[in-house]
Amino acid sequence: MPLRRAAALLFAAALAAAARAGVEVAVAGADEELAANVRAHLGLEGVACDLDARRFALVVARAQPRIGRALRALGYYRGRWRIERRRVGDCWRVEVHLEPGERARIAALEVTLEGPGEGDEVLRAALANLPLAVGDPLHHGRYEEAKRHIVQAALARGYFDGRFSRHRLVVDRRRGEARIELRYQTGRRYAFGEVQLPDLFLDRALLARFVPFRPGDPYEVDALVRLETALLDSGYFRRVAVDRGEPDRETGRVPVALDLELPPRHKSTFGVGYSTDLGPQLRYQFENRYLDRQGDRYDADLALSPVASEVGYRFRRPGGDPTREENQFTLGFRQEDNDSFRNRSLEGGAARVVALPHGWLATAQLTLLLEDFDVAARGDEVVYLYPGLALDWSRADDPRLPRRGLRLSFGIQGAREDLLSSASFLQLRFSAKGILPALGGRLIGRLQGGFTAVDDFASLPASLRFFAGGDNSVRGYDYRALGPTDDAGEVVGGRHLLAAGLEYDRRIAGDFGAALFYDAGTAFDRWRPHFAESLGFGLRWFSPIGPVRLDLAFPRQGGGVRLHISMGPDL
């Protein structure tokens, strides 16, 4: 294409674009919401700039009545206005000068349910949250929104034949008052029909146990939401769709169909990490998501580090209600060699896990522990068979980097010497960690505690004793270096534990931040312990997999400084 012809085409395109440019509309005398509504009703922004004065005046005259509709839509029934138009540069400018007057307000509001749903307390509660109230400025958009809210609330409760028997909005322009009357005839309430289950590897009897309703139960959309959430949280499915069929007017039933897709059966995960306590770490996890048609599954873990290594196996079987109950069987081997003790332990157990109301998780378990340990040059081989009960609860606004969250954990376990155990003991454990927004950053507090009653402390294995110090305990001190000592000054661990920390962190740039902290705590035997304390500061990298922490801690006893590197979720 010749250069001159190309230039001509570009110039023509530029002229056409200029001709298509919209008219400028300015609105004076109104707040932002009213001004935007007037501009939207006028619809002049898309008018071409190349209209002559006569044709443009005709366009404006035809658009002028829309201003009244724009005012009335927001409750201004006594408004006045005038329009000015003039040429500005290569286009037109329209100026609307408004005197909207006093806005009408809702003087009376009557919302009534009629028919079988009249006494439905859940539906009545939903209607209490309408975006309308006596005394509010009249807003036609909110009036229509209120009508939609009523219809949607009724549909969510299964009133599929509902309709408005009366809906009126009457405005007294002289008095500036609006009266609203809404009467909704619910019609009958439909019930759930049969649930169509897909053909999958998993048994249909297992899938049916996820369904929280039976055919004939009153329909409610919340039950479908609970079903979808339970299926997604189960870990069995890669994709979940709960489809509501068309209500059957003859039977009064609503059919439901599940569309589910299983993920690959096997999953392998490799990971590497580092912490000051354990050094470099290598982890491998293998998971079988569905071992058989009954929903049994298992996972195996291998973790290696210079200080502590372990291998574990866990078999999981869904309970009668797979959304709340699970039975677990575990077997694991662990060995640890730190500055305070060396141990090797083989542990097996059976547990019943139940989800309780309000987000609590309860675990009742029976554990068999065989441990060979050396603490302060004194060793022993012990056997313990002991039951335990644990309660856990957590909530966070963001699982990766919460600004507000809380985690609570409580546990009790114990053994009797005359029931296959080397000594009798009773032990309580608890921990709490909370996060709150503060001063543009986060305030993080944590508390750990444990108390043990034991007949023969020397027979209590290292894994059941308490030690303090390290990345997740009292920074500034070596890993498991705080606790009662023997005559030679060697740490032997304690019957009890108290440790706490308070930290403030804040982003500085991007995903990087800084922190200040204070830690205190120790393991002890006597009830007037001497707590170790430390102060420090650190850097944070808020990575996609969770925070990476680099801290410098200054212990108040002994002086010096200790570097701590750790990673992992906040809660």
- Under 8 Å between Cβ of 96 and 25: yes
- Under 8 Å between Cβ of 254 and 248: yes
Q: Which two tokens stand for residue 417?
A: 């010497």
What is the reported pLDDT for 310? 97
Q: Which two tokens stand for residue 466?
A: 């308490």
CA distance 571 to 564: 19
| Alpha-helical segments (H) within 193-345 | 204-210, 221-233
- Under 8 Å between Cβ of 518 and 533: yes
What is the reported pLDDT for 376? 86
Q: What is the mean pLDDT of residues 452-476?
A: 95
DSSP result, 391-418: EEEEEES-SSS-SSEEEEEEEEEEE-TT
Q: Which two tokens stand for residue 566?
A: 């750790």
320 phi, psi to nearest 5 deg: -60, -40
**Neighbouring residues of 10: CB distance < 8 A, sequence distance ≥ 6:** none
- Under 8 Å between Cβ of 318 and 355: no
Among 290, 293, 297, which residue's Cα sits nearest to residue 314? 297
What is the reported pLDDT for 13? 40
Residue 492: pLDDT band by 50, 70, 90 thresholds?
very high
What is the reported pLDDT for 17? 41
Q: What is the mean pLDDT of residues 92-117?
A: 92
Point out which residues pair with 25 in neighbouring strands. Answer: 94
CA distance 17 to 40: 22
CA distance 393 to 390: 10
**Neighbouring residues of 193: CB distance < 8 A, sequence distance ≥ 6:** 215, 245, 248, 251, 253, 254, 255, 256
CA distance 433 to 571: 7
User: Structure pTM?
Assistant: 0.82
SS3 state of residue 319: coil
Among 422, 413, 338, which residue's Cα sits nearest to residue 374? 338
Query: Could you tell me the sign of the dihedral formed by the alpha carbons of 263, 266, 270, 275, in that order?
Result: positive
Q: What is the mean pLDDT of residues 392-421?
A: 94
Among 42, 92, 29, which residue's Cα sits nearest to residue 68? 42
Among 538, 544, 527, which residue's Cα sits nearest to residue 501? 538
CA distance 316 to 292: 11
What is the reported pLDDT for 558? 78
Most confident of 77-81, 459-463, 540-544: 459-463
Q: What is the mean pLDDT of residues 159-165?
A: 96
What is the reported pLDDT for 400? 84
Q: What is the mean pLDDT of residues 324-351?
A: 96
CA distance 356 to 477: 38
Q: Which of 63-67, 192-196, 419-423, 435-439 has the lowest mean pLDDT?
A: 63-67
What is the reported pLDDT for 59? 87
CA distance 457 to 455: 6
**Neighbouring residues of 3: CB distance < 8 A, sequence distance ≥ 6:** none
Point out which residues pair with 436 in neighbouring strands. Answer: 443
Among 329, 327, 290, 334, which residue's Cα sits nearest to residue 310? 334
Tell me the pairing of strands 425-438 and 308-318.
Answer: unpaired
What is the reported pLDDT for 56? 87
Q: What is the mean pLDDT of the chain?
A: 92
CA distance 53 to 551: 73
* Domains located in the chain, CATH noted: 18-99 (3.10.20.310), 105-185 (3.10.20.310), 191-261 (3.10.20.310), 266-567 (2.40.160.50)
Q: What is the mean pLDDT of residues 197-225?
A: 96
CA distances to 144, 188, 195 from 154, in Å: 16, 11, 22
pLDDT digits (tens, 9 = 90+) for 8-60: 343 334 334 433 457 888 899 889 999 899 988 988 877 888 888 888 888 88
CA distance 220 to 241: 17
